[in-house]
Amino acid sequence: MRTRYHRLLALIGLLGSGLLQGAEPADLMVVGDIYTVDSARSWARVLAAKNGKIIYVGPENGSEAYRAESTKVITLESGQMVLPGIQDSHVHLLDGGLDELKCDLLNLPTPKRIIEVVKAYSEEHPNDPWILGAGWAPPLYRDGNPNKADLDKILPNRPAWLTSQDGHSGWANSAALDLAGIDKNTPDPPRGRIERDPLTREPTGTLRESAMNLVEDITPKPEDTIWEAVLLQKQREANGLGITSIQEALISPRALKVYHTLATRGELTLKVQCALATDAAKPDSQVDDFIALREQYTVGDRLRASSAKIFEDGGIEGHTAALLEPYVDRPGDSGEVYWDLERLTSIGKRLDQAGFQLHVHVIGDKATRVVLDAIEAIRKDNGFSDTRPQLAHLELVAPSDIARFRKLGTVANFSPMWCYSDAWIVEGTIPALGPERSGRLYQIQSFLNSGAVVSAGSDWPITALNPFEAIQVGITRIPLDNPSAPPWTPEERATLPDLIAMYTINGAYANHHEKTTGSLETGKAADFIIIDRNLFDVPVLEIRKTRVLRTYLDGKEVWPAELQLEVRAGPEDSLVTLTISNSSGEPLDAAAASRMELRAGSSLSSSRADWTVLPVTLEAVGGVLQAVVPAAETIQFIEVLEK
């Protein structure tokens, strides 16, 4: 049997040339199609870096001065391209990773299937004191309210706590409610709601917003070493998607400490801005605690904690978003803001004076209005500082408020993956808002037209971490799995250049480091990615398939995608053993195995679409992946692919 691996880069090696007098030789040089995302949105042919900084970006003519025998030169294959590193300006990387340790309820299609999965998980974990899960979709349930009785049938004695996909609701069984001391006499906490039987007032098992803390606070938490391992895994996955910078959109002191541990050990391969969690129940003096945390945990440009997260409302599907007009299906109910204007302005002034960015969750149009009013008051009293408030989600915004973002120096942060019609919109949003308001969701192009700075965030684990999937949806406004579907509000479709900017230079601006990263320009950090296709040349419906081949942070390769496949005799004559290793020596783990598949064919000239996917399980063994497969006579070539 012969083996074949389609190499991801055509040429990686040391190419020498005479170094021109006075020029500084580069450590690294990339030759190919380079989209710089500078102010002119210009293209270059060569990028050269030394000591983590870009020292040249431009045409090949002139780059010779930076090439020496010691320079590592990467020449791209035809069709590949270079982009600045991706900046995800709203993500929950560590918390989402910790959720993956729980029972996975994401994308389950029916309430029945959810119960089946929870039951199976509980049987597989008989010694766990709690059954914890995450990811159930509220649109699967009437009014988004699952009932404790369904959990009680399978878990009558062990407490169960399952959080929703959007993070705004939790589902408890009776055992969990009892441990939390929640009964019909328990009052709703501020900014929260205990869903109840309308006749008996007994809790039904669904808790909204701050009421979730009544149970969440008593659930067992993993040890710090587990948190560190999870963060290492998730940042590896982020690097593999081309992500070099993030804003952790809600972080606790404990989570910040975990990031700090990795940063001080030199293991943090992301540039991280953290949004510290505010608490409306605490006085404005909590800002003093934020200042202390910022001073204690800042590590150069790798880790900063100079943003403060505020939740101004909840979500439309649970009727906890704050609206200017009442819900269609709940006359007289407009939701409520969690911070009134006076309170928000008060703490906002303190945060602004201390140099913190406001990072505010806003879903409803009233929530956005109140936050903008507060920012206007803060600007009036404090003067116009460069703290760059960032409002995230912006599901429904009054048209008259859009222009205020630019005027007030406020960043609009969207999650492009939300911008298509799905069950959340059809079964949750439209019945709650009606067709007119539902037709004004996620007005990305309107914000771009206004001149506001628009950034992008995945909001993972709410939606996919993959930025290329989000870019495709932002352009098309149609679901990834149904390309023939009509676009949702097509007038709000954004262009490819604008979406790339949202994920690069605009994200850098939102995180206060656009002078050092976010575009490929001389003097900036060599934070860039190499991808397998030129996004400007491929059909828009192919963008989602983009694969990141290399990710560089400060000139250091943090994501190698080139693999080596070795085939040798197996334990029996009819079997062969396959070993996949990383050419850079980086270990491969179970997460890497889940992204790979092996395909086999009898001829290189045959269409790879006709090649057979080998039904094998890759196992991580000592930093490599291994599998045993039948040595079929018809198999002549094997290829490794990432899904």
pLDDT (mean) for 42-59: 98
Whether 602 has a pLDDT exceeding 60, the answer reads no
> What does the pLDDT read at residue 562?
57
Alpha-carbon span 510 to 393, nearest angstrom: 14
Whether 631 has a pLDDT exceeding 90, the answer reads no
> What does the pLDDT read at residue 46?
98
> What does the pLDDT read at residue 22?
53
Residues 397-438 pLDDT 10s:
999 999 999 999 999 999 999 999 988 899 899 999 999 999
Residue 461 preceded by cis peptide, ω within 30? yes
Residues 242-297 pLDDT 10s:
999 999 999 999 999 999 999 999 999 999 999 999 999 899 999 999 999 999 99
Alpha-carbon span 531 to 41, nearest angstrom: 18
User: Do 367 and 357 touch, CB atoms closer than 8 A?
Assistant: no
> What does the pLDDT read at residue 272?
99
- Give the pLDDT band (50/70/90) at residue 604: very low
pLDDT above 70: percentage of residues in the chain: 89
Alpha-carbon span 567 to 544, nearest angstrom: 31
- Structural domains in the chain, sorted by start: 11-86+527-560 (2.30.40.10), 102-216 (3.10.310.70), 224-510 (3.20.20.140), 563-642 (2.60.40)
Lowest mean pLDDT segment, chosen from 268-282, 283-297, 333-347, 570-584:
570-584
End-to-end Cα spacing for the chain: 24
Alpha-carbon span 150 to 108, nearest angstrom: 16
Whether 19 has a pLDDT exceeding 50, the answer reads no
> What does the pLDDT read at residue 601?
65
Residues 84-125 pLDDT 10s:
999 999 999 999 999 999 999 988 999 999 999 999 999 999
Which residues lie closer than 8 Å to 491 by C-beta, 6 or more apart? 445
Q: What is the mean pLDDT of the chain?
A: 90
Which residues lie closer than 8 Å to 18 by C-beta, 6 or more apart? 64
Among 579, 627, 622, smallest CA distance to 613 is for: 627
